[in-house]
Amino acid sequence: MLTIGLTGGIASGKSQVSRYFMDLGIDVIDSDKIGRDLFKPHSPHLEKLRNKFSDSIFLTNGDLDRKALGEIVFADKNHLKWLNEFTHPLIHEQMRELLLESKSTYVVLDIPLLIDKNGQIPDYLSQLIDRVLVVNTNRATQIERIIKRDKLSKNQALNIINSQSSAEQRLLLANDVIDNSGTLDDLRNQVNTLHNQYLKLSEFAGNAN
């Protein structure tokens, strides 16, 4: 089965691209959703977060305060490194299980942090994907979207952007690129074009096997 690693900087438009692929009948495995589900109320993984970051990252009802956690880790690269090393193997395991269950012609794996800060794809992720699809947009648009969507300051938005791989690093490893600087119609048309390409690649791979 052909697997597409979908990535891009925060607020680049990956979620909209994923929705367009789903509209075309393609399974999308969302690593962010898996990560959120791992830390639902009463999850056994919450205690390890509490031991690391204290009660300050929890709401009064005991639920994880994701905004508070984000403010901590995006302001301290060591905290972010610890969180990634804790969560990524858990997410990876779930992704492998969902891949095995998929009946889609090809599968899109939505992985925002597919390419790390060093501009590399970790081995455990490279084993899952055949092609890298990067959604690209300019930094000014990213900042504007983050401030509006997440109600963060410009400095907070920049901290998040700077904690991720750069656009140049992502584009260097891209097999395919979607330019999300135009309209939604432009975006959908680019997805449709790639969809047809991926169907042909999937058919070729199937015949080769």
Q: What is the C-alpha to C-alpha distance for residues 74 and 164, in angstroms, rounded to an integer?
A: 10
- Are 154 and 143 in contact, with CB atoms under 8 Å apart? yes
Question: What residue ranges of the chain have pLDDT lower than 70?
Answer: 205-209
Sheet containing 131-136, strands listed edge to edge, beginning at the edge strand earlier in sequence: 27-30, 106-110, 2-7, 131-136, 176-179
pLDDT for 124 equals 86
Taking each helix axis from N to C end, the angle separating 46-53 and 66-73, rounded to the nearest 10 degrees, works out to 50
SS (H, E, C) 27-57: EEEEHHHHHHHHCCCCCCCHHHHHHHHCHHH
- Are 15 and 135 in contact, with CB atoms under 8 Å apart? no
Indicate the SS3 state at residue 164.
Answer: coil
pLDDT for 208 equals 57
pLDDT for 85 equals 87
Contact residues for 62 (Cβ-Cβ < 8 A; gap 6+): 41
Q: Model's pTM, two decimal places?
A: 0.81
CATH annotation of 2-204? 3.40.50.300
pLDDT digits (tens, 9 = 90+) for 7-53: 998 888 999 999 999 999 999 999 989 988 888 888 889 999 999 99
pLDDT for 206 equals 60
Domain residue extents for the chain: 2-204
pLDDT for 42 equals 84
To which H or E segment does residue 107 belong? Answer: strand 106-110
pLDDT for 142 equals 84
Contact residues for 111 (Cβ-Cβ < 8 A; gap 6+): 5, 6, 7, 31, 125
